[in-house]
A and B are shown apart, each in its own frame.
Chain A
Amino acid sequence: MSDFTGGFWSVYISIITIASIIACGVLLKAMSTRKVSGSQAETTGHAWDEDLVELNNPLPRWWIWLFYVTILFGLVYLALYPGLGTFGGSYQWTSKKQYEEEVAKAEALSAPIYEKYAKTDLKQLAADPAAMAVGQKLFLNNCAQCHSSDARGGKGYPNLTDADWIFGGEPETIRQTIANGRQSVMPPWGPVLGDDGVKDMAHYVMSLSGRTFDPLRAARGKEKFATTCVACHGPEAKGNPAIGAEDLTKYTLLYGADEPSLIETIGKGRMSTMPAQKELLGDAKVHILAAYVWSVSNPAVTGAAPAKTGAK
């Protein structure tokens, strides 16, 4: 595959390469005999530092034959493998193809294992320590970048070990979340409520979640809640897993439940994305990960917590 717009450089390289190789051969042949006068010259004829001379001893014949062999090797190599410009060589080797072959070989090795796990029910899989070791490795490689190595997340990244699920916590729901991803939008209410209104709403939410709050502000917020927030978060503010609206009565919220965080959330809105993993990981790995994620929030089922055995 050439990045050039024309074929000139390809031809240029090829000509120079082949010509150089042929030139080596010609040079070897030309230099393989020499014409000397009757008396044999023993030195090269130069003298350095007054009396340092170099003997002109003949090189061994096997040396020149090895050189011819390397020329032949070079020509054969260039015929078989890419080297002359855009000519792909008769083997049509590319590094991409080699990589794909290696990946295919590795996947063939692991395919039976994944097949076995893909057929197992998710809750059963969660109780299998060997499968969960695989799950932990997959998790550490693919999920821990956001959800952190212990799966407890952080601000903006859900804690997978607790019982709070924004979109639902059944094993099949978790699998769908991982496979297809999730998107939820908290609209910005700053323009509608105004700075003061946003602060009032924040204090109302704080009152729901058991934090200390300003009662005056909370009362004002509660009035507006019914008209602005209930549509997504539900009349009791318990949330709506169908659209990913959070349960606001929890002590900990995804983007923080303290006043500054709430003001930012309500005023500016939030855009949350869980990226879909189906394309990248494939169904089998998603299946195992779903079992693993379910297992970290249900340690009683799995027995020993995965962290104790570590990942390889």
Chain B
Amino acid sequence: MNDRPIASELAKPELVEQPLYEVRKEIYARAVSGWFARWRWTLVFLTQLVYYGGPWLVWNGRQAVLFDLVARKFYIFGIVFWPQDFIYLTALLVISALSLFVFTAVAGRLWCGYACPQTVYTEIFMWIERKVEGDRVARMRLDQQPMSARKFGLKAAKHGLWAVLSLWTGFTFVGYFTPIHELGAAITGVAAAATPGAPQLGPWEIFWVLFYGFATYGNAGWMREQVCKYMCPYARFQSAMFDPDTLIITYDPGRGEPRGPRARNADAKALGLGDCVDCDLCVQVCPTGIDIRDGLQYECIGCAACIDGCNQVMARMGYPKGLIRYTTENALRERLTPSQILARSLRPRVLAYTAILWAIIIAIAVTLYTRVPLKVDVIRDRGSLSREVEGRWVENTYRLQIMNTQEVAHRFVIRAGGAPTLQVAEGDSIEIPGAATRMVPVRLRVDMGKLAAGTHKIEFDVAAADDAAIAAHERSIFLVQSGK
């Protein structure tokens, strides 16, 4: 017999202990095909073609895209970036950020849903999983089964394929920093004996291949949406980049509610139902496991799988497509037409981002195009500031650091000017091989008595003997001692 407290006595509520941290619920995303899925796969192919194929291209007898950290030179096809060119990296980052702002303000999380490496690799890994383990229902059944030879075999095959792809990804990544041909040779041990001077596979290369491979395997195979939901900051500040005119993936409740199943050719209106048949397909295909019918959520990565899924059902039911579609908050509220929505895309915020973006792109393009492949630094001798020679001249000595940033050798001629009778007494010409730097001691002299005591501003002119356009001017000082 239970001694149940009567309602009038307020019983102390029983305290239940529950975990504060939840175990990740495995999401079995259903496969979907459609217009947006095709776009995503196109971008998967394009981005990975560039990523995996890039390091294998050859240019000027060396790897076309190579970030040689040890020698501190970045090669991108014909352009060699030296540490002094770091401003271009800054510009690249600014351009990336601004373009992100532009297209996010226009159409939401386009990066997340179509181009982000996390999405791309998860798509590839999920495709492998589908091919090995089967479709959604088959995968769910397999996971519920106890371990068997078949299950072990399938899981091993899947993880094996994942591991191979991850290692290849890690190898490609390191191949951007160590020439990939030599890296491949070192790993396979093939040409190592043939070319004794070739770089051997060092501990750091091995470490980074494995690290990056492990990161790919972990993020794309296991973590998947956990990265988007918890790790990535973009998810959290997207709300700052959206506004009521941003195109976002939206369920149209005005059209869809009240939702409910019905026969194929039944009259929905007569039944008092909206277009949504409550098939839950939009939930089944979602890679982050949300229900888009609840409205915009931060987990939604904008992959539009729900749009593709719902459109399939709408087509089969004979209803118009677009129950879930790209639309804006204002469009839903004010019932805007598509052309009106498009017109709203050209609002001040978008135009301002675009203008700044193009200004920077054009500025960088122009400076890159007109870049002179010569850098000169003048370092005055400080130990010996000024000296008198044989009662006839006053001399100052300098060191010129001349960087020939092109991959073509040049002979450079050094001239000085800016003071009467100033001449280069020693160090007036130097031969510098391609993409190399040399230090030249230079001695300047003036006739004694022609220049007053004190500091005099002079300038050095360094120019390639065979191409007058490659020239640099650097200012310096000429000192004449006082008194005597």
Shortest beta-carbon distance, A2 to chain B, in Å? 33
- For chain B, give the interface size range: 35 or more
Asked if A251 and B383 make an inter-chain contact with CB atoms under 8 angstroms apart, the answer reads no
Q: Check B17 against A35 for contact (C-beta < 8 Å).
A: yes
Query: Are B440 and A157 neighbours in the complex by a CB distance under 8 Å?
Result: no
- Residue of B15, B229, B426 near A307 (CB, 8 A) is B426
How many A residues face the partner with a CB closer than 8 A? 41
Alpha-carbon distance between A31 and B19 when the two chains are bound, in angstroms: 9
Contact B24 A149 (CB under 8 A): no
The answer for the CA separation of A36 and B399 in the assembled complex, in Å, is: 75
B441 A157 Cβ-Cβ under 8 A: no
Chain B 411-460 residues near chain A, CB threshold 8 A: 426-427, 429-432, 436-443
Q: Which of B130-138, B259-267, B305-313, B390-398 contacts A (4 or more CB under 8 A)?
A: B390-398
- The CA of A35 and the CA of B432, in the complex, are separated in Å by 75
Whether B426 lies near A150 (C-beta < 8 A) is: yes
Please, how many angstroms separate the alpha-carbon atoms of A150 and B229 in the complex?
65
Residue picked from A150, A261, A307, most chain B C-beta under 10 Å: A150
In the assembled complex, which residues on chain A have CB atoms less than 8 Å from the CB atom of B397?
Answer: 148-150, 152
The reply to whether A37 and B383 contact each other, CB–CB distance below 8 Å, is: no
**A252 vs B397: C-alpha distance in the bound complex, in angstroms?**
19
The 8 A CB mask of B158-174 against A (1 = contact, 0 = none) is 00000000000000000
Across the interface, do B443 and A36 meet the contact criterion of CB distance under 8 Å?
Answer: no
Query: Known contacts A62-B24, A150-B426, A310-B439; is A36 also within 8 Å of B18 by CB?
Result: yes
Residues of A within 8 A of B398 (CB): 149
Chain B residues positioned under 8 Å from A63 (CB to CB)? 21, 230
How far is it, in angstroms, between the C-alpha of A19 and the C-alpha of B214 when the chains are bound?
A: 33
Smallest Cβ-Cβ distance to B19: which chain A residue: A33
For residue A259, which residue of chain B has the nearest CB? Answer: B484
> How many inter-chain residue pairs (CB < 8 Å) link A and B?
131
B23 touches A312 (CB 8 A): no
With both chains docked as a complex, state the minimum distance between the C-beta of A252 and any C-beta of chain B, in angstroms.
6
Partner of B484, one of A34, A36, A258, A311: A258
**B143 located at the interface, meaning its Cβ lies under 8 Å from any Cβ of chain A in the complex:** no
In chain A, residues 248-278, which have Cβ atoms closer than 8 Å to a Cβ of chain B? 251-252, 258, 260-261
**Cα(A149)–Cα(B390), bound, Å:** 19
Asked if B18 and A33 make an inter-chain contact with CB atoms under 8 angstroms apart, the answer reads yes
Q: A37-B15, A60-B24, A252-B390 are in contact. Are A154 and B384 (CB under 8 A)?
A: yes
Question: Which residues of chain B come closer than 8 Å to A145, judged between CB atoms?
Answer: 382-383
Please name all residues of chain A whose beta carbon is closer than 8 Å to the beta carbon of B382 when the two chains form the complex.
145
Task: State A90–B223 Cα separation when bound (angstroms).
Answer: 36
Return the CB mask of A276-308 against B: 1 if under 8 Å, else 0.
000000000000000000000000000001011
Is B271 an interface position by the 8 A CB rule?
no
Report the Cα distance A64→B430, complex, angstroms.
Answer: 63
Q: Inside 8 A of A175's CB, which chain B residues have their CB? A: none
B147 within 8 A of A: no
Contact B430 A308 (CB under 8 A): yes
A235–B267 alpha-carbon span in the complex (Å): 132
Apart from A32-B19, A58-B22, A152-B397: 7 A-B pairs, beta carbons within 8 A: A37-B16, A60-B24, A148-B397, A155-B387, A307-B440, A309-B431, A311-B441
10 closest A-B pairs by CB = A148-B384, A149-B441, A154-B384, A310-B438, A37-B13, A58-B22, A154-B387, A145-B383, A310-B440, A35-B15
Chain B interfacial positions (CB closer than 8 Å to A): 13-24, 223, 226, 229-230, 381-387, 389-391, 395, 397-399, 402, 426-427, 429-432, 436-443, 483-484
Query: Which residues does A use to contact B, with CB under 8 Å?
Result: 31-39, 58-64, 140, 144-150, 152-155, 157, 251-252, 258, 260-261, 305, 307-312
Jot down 6 A-B pairs with beta carbons below 8 A, ordered by A: A34-B17, A58-B22, A59-B230, A149-B399, A150-B397, A310-B432
